[in-house]
Amino acid sequence: MMRRFAKSEHGTAMVEMAIVAPLLFALTLGFVDFGYALYQWNGATKAVQVGARLASISDPVVPATVLAAAAPISVPGAPVAADAYAPFVCKYTGSIGDCNGSSANFDANAFSRIFRGDTAVTNDDACPPPTGTQRPGMCHFFPDLLRTNVVITYAATGLGFQTRLSGPVPTITVNLQNRTFQFFFLGGLLGFGNINMPSMLSTVTGEDLKTSAPS
């Protein structure tokens, strides 16, 4: 009886399946999660590209008068040299927006136009869908994007000339901060920690730096 039991192979397939199934499911769900991470990467890349484009054709987040006052005016018509003024770094910390630490030099409406396009201006992270001819903003290309994730920098890189009527021509960089790739299955089942997302950025040359919202 014992000899027959020892030679029996009944249930072998079930045991093998019990061993292989967790590995198979983990591999499958891992593919899903990393595919979603790639989707997030693409979304973040597109968001900063759209943000930079909107920033280049819209009112600057740091008021134009402040930007103009920062540039030299001693030699009218002379080029505004690179690094002629300190870069203006505009971002949100919590619910407070500031440029170089000054909330007085921060235009919340201009930031909103970059963040959420032509949709309604609100003092939160809401991202209402655009309608009609409204242009989409950064948040429409990267789900769950927060205002605190967006940093907009205006820097002097040797463009424009002193006493230019519309002020100096800055180089604008839009980048993301404090974002992680979100993992659902791996994080929940295997305790896989979220991975910090690299600082996605896009740099463009400022244009007229004036609001060009559709009429």
Question: What average pLDDT does the structure give for the chain?
Answer: 84
Q: What is the pLDDT of residues 45-56, one digit of tens each?
A: 999 999 999 999
Q: What is the structure's pLDDT at 213?
A: 40
pLDDT at 168: 84
Task: Summarize pLDDT for 111-128 with one digit per residue, the tens.
Answer: 999 999 999 888 889 999
42 membership: H or E segment, kind and range:
helix 12-57
Q: Do 37 and 181 contact (CB within 8 A), yes or no?
A: yes
Q: What angle do CA 39, 40, 43 make, to 5 degrees?
A: 90
Cα separation, 30 vs 163, in Å, equals 57
The whole-number average pLDDT for the span 68-82 is 87
pLDDT band of 212, cuts 50, 70, 90: very low
pLDDT tens digits, one per residue of 149-165: 999 999 998 888 888 87
At 53-72, the pLDDT tens digits run: 999 988 899 998 898 888 88
How would you class 49 by CB atoms within 10 Å of its CB: exposed for 0-12, middle for 13-18, buried for 19 or more?
Answer: middle
What is the pLDDT, as a whole number, of residue 49? 95
Q: Give the pLDDT score at 148.
A: 96
Going from the C-alpha of 160 to that of each of 79, 121, 177, 208, the distances in angstroms are 6, 31, 29, 11
Whole-structure pTM value: 0.81
Residues of the chain above pLDDT 90, percent: 43
Q: Which of 215, 202, 167, 214 is nearest to 45 (CA)?
A: 202
Instruction: For tokens 């006493």, name the residue.
Output: 163
For residue 149, the one-letter residue type is N
Cα torsion at 41, 121, 52, 97 (round to 10°)?
-90
Q: Of 77-86, 138-147, 201-210, give the range with the top mean pLDDT.
A: 138-147
